[in-house]
A and B are shown apart, each in its own frame.
Chain A
Amino acid sequence: MATTTTDESEHTETESGLELRRIALYGALLALVGAYLSPLYSGLTTAFKTQEAYRNTSPLQPPLEGFTIDPWVTAGSELAFAMVNSFAMVIPAAVLSALFGSLTAYGLTKVDWRGQVFVLVLFLAAVFIPYQAVLVPLRQFWSMIGLSQLHPRGELVELTITHIAYGIPICTILFRSYYQTLDSELIEAARLDGASLARIYRKIVLPLSLPMFAVTLIYQFTQVWNDFLFALVLLSNRSNYVVTLELNALAGSMATDYSVQMAGAFIAALPTILVYILFGEQFAKGQTL
């Protein structure tokens, strides 16, 4: 609207009033951008500053004097193994919970039988349950199963399975909301064509679900990568630490060195930030269910 009025040579009073309002609107939007980015900005400037520059300059100032990448090197070498652990856990956890979610939503949405709504209510409630309510039994359960005794990496497997189980409800709900919009005549046509439920899933539903897989995978990737609580409770061996846990440990051990902390925070957040920038639309879709 504003762009069209600027092209006109003659401004009436209301038009210039409109113009002013547009300027105020963009001013407000930009001020908010500043506010929303400020924690990242102060982190980024600080991560490139030497200890001396950090002490002598405001976090508002860019790291022009006393520029260094040492904090990144320090934090990077501290976090490298934990990044690997995180990837090893996140990828199977995200893929499997999405796959389970899709299969379950298909079985509960596109196939008609009574009682499926009851199962869905269980899933919906499970999305919102505070995980504190399962922490003590979860620890008990895994110590009974004892994967961590079988293999030094067992803890990580326990954590991955845990994430799959707790990721299924949200993935199911996401896929279900998508499958509900899928024309049920498609499924019926395929049944008349003689396809079994498994074939219908494989040949019709799965190919049509690919956009939703993107949404769900991104949601689960972010969720599992960012998780701290389950990792805190299930991982005891430092070599199995995932990146959130190791970052917390790093922050604790370098409490006064904000430069290293900030660099570490950025390194730990980098995969999710990249995913977010590349797949912002899908990320937003997953958040709004």
Chain B
Amino acid sequence: MADLQLDDVTKVFVEDDGNEITAVDEVSLAIDDGEFLVLVGPSGCGKSTTLRMVAGLETVSDGAIRLGGSVINDAKPAERDIAMVFQSYALYPHMTVRENMSFGLEESTSMPDDEIASTVEDAATMLGIDDLLERKPDDLSGGQQQRVALGRAIVRDPEVFLLDEPLSNLDAKLRAQMRTELQRLQEDLGVATIYVTHDQTEAMTMADKIAILNDGQLQQVGTPLECYHEPANLFVASFIGEPSMNFFDVSRDGETLVHDDFTYELTSAVASELGDHDELVLGIRPEDIELRSTQDDTHSYETFVDVVEPMGNENNVYLTFDADSTETFVATIDGLNHVEDGQSVIAHVPEDAIHIFDRASGSALRNRTLDTQAMPEPQL
């Protein structure tokens, strides 16, 4: 019932000097009931503007926003049956937690006072902040304020939750904790949620579905693993994943990809997917590069270790093709695997893991193949 739909939604800002800036360009999205959609992209990509249009805090320049089938473009924020959690939490500093959480119910419903009180208390209990109800926001820790902001949204019992970078003000540890807690909460409530973040880790770990925006344009919508393994274009491939995918500008010579430092032979099946595109980008995820000690097949290259970043569980190894070169690419290996700066190693780039993009348009021509072993089904 509550499916939210954005059809070609566009936002054009007109600057004082008459310049028009398209912040959001014909974005179309659909969020089903109970779905957790993460809108992710670098800062300034239009993700917050999109969210604010859904909230009714920005006008829609063009296109339509539908909630449960009816267009809500011109509905006032309060009439949209949505609740929002702001980046700054926007807790009313002069009101107690209880007053903060009741305010929306008092303003927008005719709910009697005792019912408001019990709704607020229920939500507070669910969030574990029931003992903070009489305190003022300034007396609370960041994590507690975060919960109050969530509670304020929950009591409204909205059709859609909007969350604007809600975890960005928390420290790393609390952020990780709140991430799982938010997910659990959203599952329990079963309310459609749009979650805006610039942090691809949050997007990957929390989303049912990710929508990636860049320069106001939607790049890809898909499950986290789809976006990770089957990026639609160079932008998505580089944005999702940490450390980022390695890219090599190559040109095609028959069934061979030619780079300044190496050549890469393709099988005919793969080469045939490339159509008549000749100027290409070869992509490979750091964890798909295997480091070996002996050269044994065509997709192995002698490289030199430039820098090793030990992360504990794994090592990020920055490699060069030439001992003096500063152009590095990165491979991720097991943390117990020992390599040293300056060491020479053989990097193996398996063909089933490579991505190939058209350099001019950036769109993916071939993505890695996935067998069940590479992507096991979740086992519960």
**B78 touching A189 by the CB < 8 A rule?**
no
Chain A interface mostly: helix
Q: A207-B94, A208-B93 are in contact. Are A185 and B103 (CB under 8 A)?
A: no
Contact with B along A57-89 (1 / 0, CB 8 A): 000000000000000000000000000000000
Bound: A248/B165 CA distance, A: 63
| Chain A, residue nearest B83 (CB) | A192
Chain A residue contacts of B323, Cβ below 8 A: none
Chain B interface residue bracket vs A = 20 to 34
**B55 touching A192 by the CB < 8 A rule?**
yes
User: B330 on the interface (CB 8 Å rule)?
Assistant: no
Q: What's the A-B contact tally at a CB cutoff of 8 Å? A: 58
Stretch among A165-173, A193-201, A233-241, A277-285 lining the B interface: A193-201
| Chain A, residue nearest B58 (CB) | A112
Chain A residue contacts of B109, Cβ below 8 A: 194
Chain B residue contacts of A194, Cβ below 8 A: 78, 104, 107-109
**A195 touching B90 by the CB < 8 A rule?**
no
How distant is B158 from chain A, measured CB to nearest CB, in Å? 9
| Chain B, residue nearest A210 (CB) | B94
Chain B residue contacts of A203, Cβ below 8 A: 103
Chain A residue contacts of B90, Cβ below 8 A: 183, 185-186, 188-189
User: B222 on the interface (CB 8 Å rule)?
Assistant: no
Contact with A along B95-131 (1 / 0, CB 8 A): 0000000011001110000000000000000000000
User: A204 on the interface (CB 8 Å rule)?
Assistant: yes
Chain B residue contacts of A186, Cβ below 8 A: 90, 92
User: B88 on the interface (CB 8 Å rule)?
Assistant: yes
A window 184-234: CB within 8 A of B: 185-186, 188-195, 199, 203-204, 207-208
How distant is B104 from chain A, measured CB to nearest CB, in Å? 3
Q: A192-B78, A208-B94 are in contact. Are A199 and B88 (CB under 8 A)?
A: no
Total residues of chain A contacting the partner, CB 8 A: 16
Interchain CB contact (< 8 A) of B86 among A185, A195, A199? A185
Chain B residue contacts of A199, Cβ below 8 A: 107
Bound: A185/B166 CA distance, A: 13
Q: A188-B57, A190-B103, A193-B103 are in contact. Are A204 and B77 (CB under 8 A)?
A: no
User: B4 on the interface (CB 8 Å rule)?
Assistant: no
Chain A residue contacts of B108, Cβ below 8 A: 193-194
**B104 touching A193 by the CB < 8 A rule?**
yes
User: B82 on the interface (CB 8 Å rule)?
Assistant: yes
Bound: A199/B77 CA distance, A: 15
| Chain A, residue nearest B108 (CB) | A194
Chain B residue contacts of A183, Cβ below 8 A: 88, 90
Contact with A along B305-320 (1 / 0, CB 8 A): 0000000000000000
| 12 further interface pairs, Cβ-Cβ under 8 Å (given A189-B92, A191-B57, A192-B104) | A185-B86, A185-B90, A189-B86, A190-B107, A191-B56, A191-B77, A192-B82, A192-B84, A193-B104, A193-B108, A194-B78, A195-B103
Chain B residues at the A interface, C-beta cutoff of 8 Å: 55-57, 76-78, 82-84, 86-90, 92-94, 103-104, 107-109, 152, 156
Chain A residues at the B interface, C-beta cutoff of 8 Å: 183, 185-186, 188-195, 199, 203-204, 207-208
- List 10 tightest A-B contacts by C-beta distance, closest first: A194-B108, A194-B78, A193-B104, A185-B90, A189-B90, A194-B107, A185-B86, A195-B107, A207-B94, A192-B77
